[in-house]
Chain A
């Protein structure tokens, strides 16, 4: 399956474990990209079920409506690579459960929608695992403005997005997926730089 991967990538990524906090527009698409890249193990967490209004940007289909997002996403990811190792938690994360839920993860993808939740997730991860990277997104609403999408770094925090646009403007798959793809791409680069698993 990975014969067209960048040489050396598959061996490293197959040993890596990536957490995905939230399986909506960012998380479902980032997870899909990570599985296509050859990441061996994902920990997927979301409490929500698939609704019709999700299908404008999330990696779900009509046949998923009503299913827990983590269950539907796991099915799709196994359709891409049946050998991928998935740990699925249908639960609402809290500041207190971040460390335990993602203990096995080399890196965390922040893929929440509410900014308040992004804030406590980043704090909880950095407090528990200061040496492990977290890749986050802020500012992915609207359409166009492709050049405004940035990647910023501080310590083990990577932040993608325009840093300003808000979901009140509306969300469009094309721009949400730029952010999800930037998150996945940065995660891959970080895992490669570390040589895979911790």
Chain B
């Protein structure tokens, strides 16, 4: 099992990628920052970075304004 954003629990599967988590969570935002166990995963690795069982995944949505 993994935990997303300190809140949502997802069943873990062997070979699960960041993209799989985003799909399972229905995240449609394009501009995001993702960390797995506190380490940032670069955007180009969303399809290849595999998530270990028990991981804490955080997805920050980035919106315009400053």
Partner of B65, one of A119, A130, A141, A157: A141
* Inter-chain CB contacts under 8 Å: number: 94
List, in ascending order, chain A residues with CB within 8 A of B65's CB: 25, 113, 137-141, 165-167, 171, 176
* B6: nearest chain-A partner, CB-CB: A152
Other A-B pairs, 13, CB within 8 Å; known A113-B66, A123-B43, A155-B38: A111-B66, A112-B66, A118-B33, A119-B33, A122-B40, A123-B40, A138-B65, A154-B56, A155-B35, A157-B35, A157-B60, A159-B60, A167-B66
Give Cα A123–Cα B42 distance, bound, in whole angstroms.
6
Is B63 on the interface with A (CB-CB < 8 A)?
yes
Is B24 on the interface with A (CB-CB < 8 A)?
no
Give Cα A118–Cα B31 distance, bound, in whole angstroms.
9
Number of interface residues of A (CB under 8 A): 39
Q: Which of A120-147 contact B (CB under 8 A)?
A: 122-123, 126-127, 130, 136-141
List, in ascending order, chain B residues with CB within 8 A of A26's CB: 66
Minimum Cβ distance to chain B for residue A158 (Å): 10
List, in ascending order, chain B residues with CB within 8 A of A130's CB: 39-40
Is A163 on the interface with B (CB-CB < 8 A)?
yes
Residue with the highest number of chain A CB atoms closer than 10 Å, among B42, B65, B66: B66
Residue with the highest number of chain B CB atoms closer than 10 Å, among A112, A113, A118, A164: A118
Give Cα A163–Cα B62 distance, bound, in whole angstroms.
7
Partner of B60, one of A22, A138, A166, A171: A138
Give Cα A167–Cα B63 distance, bound, in whole angstroms.
8
A-B contact pairs, 22 of them (CB 8 A): A112-B66, A119-B33, A122-B40, A123-B33, A137-B66, A138-B63, A140-B66, A154-B35, A154-B38, A157-B33, A157-B40, A159-B33, A159-B60, A163-B60, A163-B63, A164-B61, A164-B63, A165-B63, A167-B63, A167-B65, A168-B64, A171-B65
Scan B18-60; emit 1 where CB is below 8 A from any A CB, else 0.
Answer: 0000000000000111010111101100000000000010101
Partner of B39, one of A115, A155, A161, A167: A155
Minimum Cβ distance to chain B for residue A69 (Å): 12
